[in-house]
Structures are given as C-alpha cells and as structure tokens.
Structure 1
Amino acid sequence: METKKFGKDDLAEAAALIRAGEVVAFPTETVYGLGADATSAKAALKVFEAKHRPADNPLIVTVADPAMVARFATVTPDAAKLMAAFWPGPLTIILPILPGALSMVVTGGLQTAAFRMPASALTRALIAEAGVPIVGPSANISGKPSATRAEHVLHDFDGRIAGVLDDGPTTVGVESTVIDMTVQPPAILRPGKIGPAELAPVIGEVQSDHHHVGAKETPKAPGMKYKHYAPAAQVVVVDTPAQFPAAIDWAQASGQPFGVLACDDILTTVDPAVPTYTLGSDVTTATHALFAGLRWFDLHPTVTLILAQAFPADGLGAAYMNRLLKSAGNEHFSQD
C-alpha cells in the first residue's frame, strides 16, 4: 500500500479514503491521530491492526463540532459546559453512548465513549468533509512514543495506512486531558494541558488521582492499562537536576551506551561525546519536546539507556510526568 502525504488542498481525497473505510492519520494540537470511520467496525479494526493495539483499549471518537457528539451519546449539562469552555481544544470527554450508536469495537466493549474536538481546523474540516466522526488514537505503534510530526507517523506506518494529513509539528506535544463525566464527581483519567484548576471553575469538584485499572478491567480511556510511550532504550527518570552528575557517573560505570534527555542548563554539563536531546528551558518546552526526544533516541539504536529529566508533577508537569513515568516503566535513578 502506498501511504500518501496530504496537505490542506487534498482534503477531498483524504475524506474519500475515510468514507471508503481506509486509515488516514491526522494532525491535532496535541499529537497526530490515526483516523478511520468511527461508525464502521471494519474500519476501526484496521486501526487496531495497524497499531498492534489491544482490543480492550478503547478508541477516542474525534468530531468536527459538539452537535456531532449528540448523534452518539447523551450530553449532560456539565459536559455541555466543558464543550463550550474548552472545545475546540485538548480535552477529551467520556460520556454514556446511546443504545447501539457505536460499535463495541470502538468502545472496547463499554457503554461509554470518549469524544474530542481538536483545535486543528484542518482536521475538523476533514471530518466535516467525510461526514462521519473518526476514531483518533495516537498515530504510533502501541507502546511506542506518540507522533508529533507527520514524519513520525510515516516512520511507524509508511506502507501500512492509506495516508497522513500533514499540518506541521503539533503545539502541545502530549495527548489531551481525559475526563470521565459518567462518574460523580467527574474524574480525570489521563492528565493533559487542561487540569483541575481550569476544570473546577466550570463544573465544580474534579477527581484527579489518575485511576489505574487492573489486569482484568477494561479501561475507559487510552493510556491507563498498558506500558506506553517507550522507546527501544530503557528510560531512567532522574528526579532532580542535582542528581544528574551521579546519574551520569552511574551510567558510565554500567558500560551501557547512554544518552541524556534534559533541559539546556543540564546538557551544558554533559560530555559532548554523549548523545543528547534538548527539552528546552522549562516544563512547557519539555512537554512539547518529550515524544520527539524519545523518538530521536530510537534513531540512535546504539543507545540502550536514556537518563531523562523529571519535573514537579503539578500543572502541566502532571501530564509530562505521566508520560515520562510510563515510558520508563516507573524506573528512577537511585543513589542507594
């Protein structure tokens, strides 16, 4: 299969492929998604096959406008408030689906589904042109770092999907916040750019303990059950900047080829012979660069260990640390 690269002038062709049941990757402000007709079980199965995604990991339903959600789910008053306040934008809302409205393939067998209206005008135009919502899991092989550029998508899926709609690099860099509106109080199941401080003034109390599911439990949202975002090398989280000299000494003593993923102030102290990728200057730039950095090390297969900088897990740092810890399998550097 030839994977075509589409631009804004190719929307009609890309939308026709969606209607024909093919898979087309698309841009959002967070990461690139892997799109297919959300009303077609057959099309959704192609996404699972392309990603090597477990069947009990539900797919996000990506829409062009809030009215599209009402065709498939019960929109509660508080959910409508969230849509008015944060859509289009990096917020995914879990709602109860209408009977028979969506295939259980899409929902992971649940009677709920996650809906998102991205900030990308290009993707909203694609959905409107196709006339159907599209499933929108991140456009990466399951378990690997998410794609923040069309080139990342092609690295994983060239020859395996019909096309990718290119709108340049994403701006946020990590996936959307997921909030479950089927429980009381509503619960954040995956942290993102929009946090409790922004949500609570709109809908009141919000749980933010980031629920984890058991081995036999079906997750309501992506990223809750399986190891995610992991490059080929083992990631080790360095909890504070002050620990980096000792962490580097430890990595050198281990004899493993290693690299460092950190902000510029730390990288200036690293031996130039060590492969490095900059996270910029702060948690905002680090969140934007995290997945690109993890993918960059995959292009340097001699590196088998990555020392990665941590940030305090509050505000945007909660989203950054959620992804970093998953990529590391919770491995931290310890001087003990």
Structure 2
Amino acid sequence: MAKYFDVHPENPQRRTISSVADSIRADELVAYPTDSCYALGCRLGSRDGITRIRQIRNLDDRHHFTLVCQNFAQLGQFVHIDNDVFRAIKAATPGSYTFILPATKEVPRQLLHPKKKTVGVRIPDHAVVQALLAELGEPLLSSTLLLPDEDEPLTQGWEIKERLDHVVDVVVDSGDCGTEPTTVIDFSGGATEIVRHGAGDTSRFE
C-alpha cells in the first residue's frame, strides 16, 4: 500500500518533503505532481525503479527517461550543451519542457537511448518538485504518468492512490497540477526537432 503525502502547493512542509526524499533514497518509487502533469520518479541510479516504471507504463528500451533537475547548473552535469542550445534552454527554463541532448558519462547507462546515447532533461516550475530536488541534492529519474492504452496522463493524487496503490510506494498530492505533458524538444541531431507538442510554448523553437 502506497504512502500518501498531502503537501502544500506553494509552501511545501519541510518535514513532509524530507520524508518523501528519504523514501526515494531508500529506492522507493514515487508518483508526484509537476508543472505539466503527474510523473513517476525514483533515485537516479535505481535499476529497480527503472524496471518498475517500464512495467507500469509498458515501455520499451527506446523510451527517453527524463532527469528532472533543480537548476541549470545541475542539468549541465548530465548533458552536453553548445552555446546556441545553452541560450535557447536557459531562456525556456524553468518550465514545461523536456530537452533531449547527448548524455555525459554521469548518466547511468541504462537510462540512455540505446542508439543515440541521449537522455531527456528538464527543470520544472513547481514549488513542491523544487523543494524535493533541493532536499535530494540530485536529479530525479522520471517519466510522465501516462498509463498504457490511455490518452491522458493522470492528474489527481487521490485517483493515483486508488489505481496504483500496489505498484508505487509513495503518492505526493499537492492539489491541482498541470494536465498536459511537457513539450519535448530534441537538440541531439544538430537541428531543432519538436518531438511532442505539449504544455510548453513551441514558438520560440520553430
């Protein structure tokens, strides 16, 4: 049965955030809200977490996992960014975007796209996630909470608790969050490619 944490959306309780962070460090799988929609998250190096996310979402090995980072300095440890891309991403963060970029050696091998050696990164504009990332001191390995054969991601904490009670370990509920997945921008091939139109405005990248 999943632990359920009710967190204030603007002033998250420090003790609660600390408890969630401890659960993640203990290799537990968490469902948490972001500025786009709910996501599944685990510790960066968690093989079990990756396996469980793949099972819940029915993903193959070509799926791009996302490293959810607290800030640009942290993001820069895990991906290679040239100057033009740096400026474009800097102007769009924090926000509802995921950027696909060549990964550095800091990224666990099992997270990489098998052919491209790329990974997704993002910096969310959400007080609860920012507080959690600050407490963790490292990125959160994540994937949108979109279940197989469903068109819309889950957006309500209580519903996630009901439906995923025995497949996740923690549910964080901070009320309404975004209802649309992030916009995904691929910078890994030289030219800018909009892979998915989502919550983030794509006009700056077109």
- Relative distance call for 1:136 and 1:143 in structure 2 (3 A) is farther
Task: Confirm or deny: 8 A CA contact 2:103 2:112 kept in the other structure.
Answer: no
Question: Pairwise CA RMSD of aligned residues?
Answer: 1.8
Amino acid at match of 1:104: R
Amino acid at match of 1:166: D
Deviation, 1:131, is 2.0
Percent sequence identity over matched residues?
A: 24
Per-residue displacement from partner, 1:138-159 (whole Å, max 9, x unpaired)?
Answer: 2242332311121232243112
**Alignment correspondent of 1:13:** 19
Pick one of 87, 105, 110 that aligns with 1:105. 110
Q: Distance in 1 between matches of 2:45 and 2:78?
A: 10
**Alignment correspondent of 1:85:** 91
Q: Distance in 2 between matches of 1:185 and 1:108?
A: 18
Q: Distance in 2 between matches of 1:148 and 1:11?
A: 20
Task: Confirm or deny: 8 A CA contact 1:40 1:103 kept in the other structure.
Answer: no
Task: Confirm or deny: 8 A CA contact 1:50 1:161 kept in the other structure.
Answer: no
Q: Distance in 2 between matches of 1:126 and 1:31?
A: 16
**Alignment correspondent of 1:244:** none
Task: Confirm or deny: 8 A CA contact 1:60 1:113 kept in the other structure.
Answer: yes
Task: Confirm or deny: 8 A CA contact 2:183 2:202 kept in the other structure.
Answer: no
- Relative distance call for 1:104 and 1:152 in structure 2 (3 A) is farther
- Relative distance call for 1:137 and 1:27 in structure 2 (3 A) is same
Matched, 1:56 2:62: yes
**Alignment correspondent of 1:153:** 160
Alignment of 1:115-126 (within 5 A): 115-126=121-132
Q: Distance in 2 between matches of 1:74 and 1:41?
A: 24
Task: Confirm or deny: 8 A CA contact 2:39 2:142 kept in the other structure.
Answer: yes
Per-residue displacement from partner, 1:303-330 (whole Å, max 9, x unpaired)?
Answer: xxxxxxxxxxxxxxxxxxxxxxxxxxxx
* TM-score (normalised: structure 2): 0.87
Task: Confirm or deny: 8 A CA contact 2:43 2:49 kept in the other structure.
Answer: yes
Q: Which has the higher helix share?
A: 1
Q: Distance in 2 between matches of 1:174 and 1:113?
A: 21
Amino acid at match of 1:162: D
Amino acid at match of 2:177: T
- Relative distance call for 1:107 and 1:39 in structure 2 (3 A) is same
**Alignment correspondent of 1:246:** none
Task: Confirm or deny: 8 A CA contact 1:177 1:190 kept in the other structure.
Answer: yes
Task: State the aligned residue count.
Answer: 197
Q: Which has the larger radius of gyration?
A: 1
Q: Distance in 2 between matches of 1:68 and 1:176?
A: 19
Name the SS of the counterpart of 2:31 in structure 1.
strand
- Relative distance call for 1:155 and 1:82 in structure 2 (3 A) is farther
Amino acid at match of 1:39: G
Deviation, 1:183, is 2.2
| Higher RCO by CA contacts (8 Å cutoff, separation 6 or greater) | 2
Task: Confirm or deny: 8 A CA contact 2:95 2:200 kept in the other structure.
Answer: no
Q: Distance in 1 between matches of 2:32 and 2:204?
A: 27
- Relative distance call for 1:162 and 1:195 in structure 2 (3 A) is same
Name the SS of the counterpart of 1:68 in structure 2.
helix
Task: Confirm or deny: 8 A CA contact 1:45 1:105 kept in the other structure.
Answer: no
**Alignment correspondent of 2:3:** 4
Unpaired runs of at least 5, structure 2: none
Unpaired runs of at least 5, structure 1: 200-205, 207-336
Name the SS of the counterpart of 1:179 in structure 2.
strand
Pick one of 116, 131, 141 that aligns with 1:135. 141
Deviation, 1:91, is 1.0
Higher mean alpha-carbon deviation, 50-59 vs 64-73, is at 50-59
Task: Confirm or deny: 8 A CA contact 1:59 1:136 kept in the other structure.
Answer: yes
Q: Distance in 1 between matches of 2:171 and 2:56?
A: 14
